[in-house]
Structure 1
Amino acid sequence: MSRWLCILLLAGATAAHAAPPHATGDERDRQIAEKTLLTQLDAVRHNVVDRTSDLVVTAMGFLGVPYRRGGNSAETGFDCSGFVRAIYGQTVGLILPRRADQQAAATESIDKKELQPGDLVFFNTMRRAFSHVGIYVGDGKFIHSPRSGAQVRVEDMRTSYWQRRFDGARRVTTAELQTQPLD
């Protein structure tokens, strides 16, 4: 379960036990504090959902851009890590490391069952760990810039090719990454 969902569930459980209207001053103060916390958590949740939606929508806007080794722009083409880096930089304002293995090292490891749209998925496609990266879009699918001669596209992680090569899932958190202003 995601940590945000856990926080929201705990906050909801706390609010469910709020003091009745005839509560004492201390109970009312606690109830007001709990409502304030719930409001703040809801705002954070909406911000995360909005950013994730923006990230996936932005990534989908690059479908068809050609692969280019070392590429990091729509004009010249993308390699896998350049694509991920460009999407996060443009949409969220975070500067990810350049290579897929560096992106894996700079992000938080999560269980495959916890994947949410916007998370990163890593694969061993070159006989070394974390040699390929894409962005999870939901429903077992991810978007990536696959290889020379191909274009940015969406693929299903559940196909045997990707299942055999799956290296792990990661979540991007701002703690380890540099932020840049959004235009």
Structure 2
Amino acid sequence: MKKRVLSYAVAIIATFSLQSCVTNYVVSAPTTYQEEYKSNAKLASLENKKLEDAKTQLLNSFASAKAAAAKSLENAAKNAEIAKTIRFTKKIDEILTEAESYLGTPYRYGGMTRRGIDCSAFVLSVFGAAAGMNLPRVAAAQAQEGDRVEKSDLQKGDLIFFAHKGGSRISHVGIVENVTEEGEIKFIHAATSRGVMISSLNDSYWGPKYRFAKRVITPETVEAQLASNN
């Protein structure tokens, strides 16, 4: 009897043990697969994020490089324009310095030297020496050069033309020497009365005789001259 009971007990324990193993086997297998799937999915997600981050960084790098290049070109253009303006201003200063060196030179009709000079010879001598320009000999011909400029837009270095007898025939020329803050236009010229001098367009004598102005030198002409010299 005891042996039979013992046998039953052994059989029951074995059955429970077997069921437990089977249960453990059946339950644990899906859990391991799910964890592996989740792990792989997480790794894939991380890899995708890394790729997206790398792509974003690359695009940002390209955008930054493009912006930097555009800014560099913009700065270069600004610097070139500033340098161009400086060269032009310097050339105008050289022209006026040359013109002012004639102050006091006596007037002589047909004269072309510092011993005596007329208005058009004065202008062509100044522009020839300071700017390397070949202007015509007489004022009427010089009036055909350059671009017309309104009186309100006159600048240093512009040529201004006059008619002595009240008509349209140009008989005198001068160089704008300064434009004051109040708008007064001063010019340097070879006058028959006092030789090379500085006068004002506000003057009761010269004001009514003024006809028009021309700009014969510009930043572009200065650059072209520099290019030809190089």
TM surpasses 0.5: yes
Answering whether residue 133 of structure 2 is matched by residue 94 of structure 1, we say: yes
Unaligned runs of 5+ in 1: 1-21
Q: Which residue of 2 aligns with 1:141?
A: 186
Give runs of aligned pairs for residues 18-167 of structure 1, distance below 5 A: 24-75=64-115, 77-126=116-165, 127-138=167-178, 139=180, 140-147=185-192, 149-167=193-211
Per the TM alignment, residue 33 of structure 1 is displaced from its structure 2 partner at its CA by: 1.0
Counterparts of 1:173 and 1:57, CA distance in 2? 16
Per the TM alignment, residue 169 of structure 1 is displaced from its structure 2 partner at its CA by: 1.1
Give runs of aligned pairs for residues 167-182 of structure 1, distance below 5 A: 167-173=211-217
Cα shift readout 1:56-87 (whole Å, capped 9, x = no counterpart): 11111111111111112213x11100000000
3-state secondary structure, aligned to 2:212: strand
Q: TM-score, normalised by structure 1?
A: 0.78
3-state secondary structure, aligned to 2:206: helix
Counterparts of 2:156 and 2:113, CA distance in 1? 22
Q: What letter corresponds to residue 82 of structure 2 in structure 1? A: D
Unaligned runs of 5+ in 2: 1-61
Q: TM-score, normalised by structure 2?
A: 0.62
Q: For CA contacts below 8 A with separation 6 or more, give which structure has more relative contact order.
A: 1
Pair member with larger Rg: 2
**Greater helix proportion:** 2
**How many pairs were matched up?**
156
Across the aligned residues of Structure 1 and Structure 2, the Cα RMSD in angstroms comes to 2.3
Seq. identity, %: 32
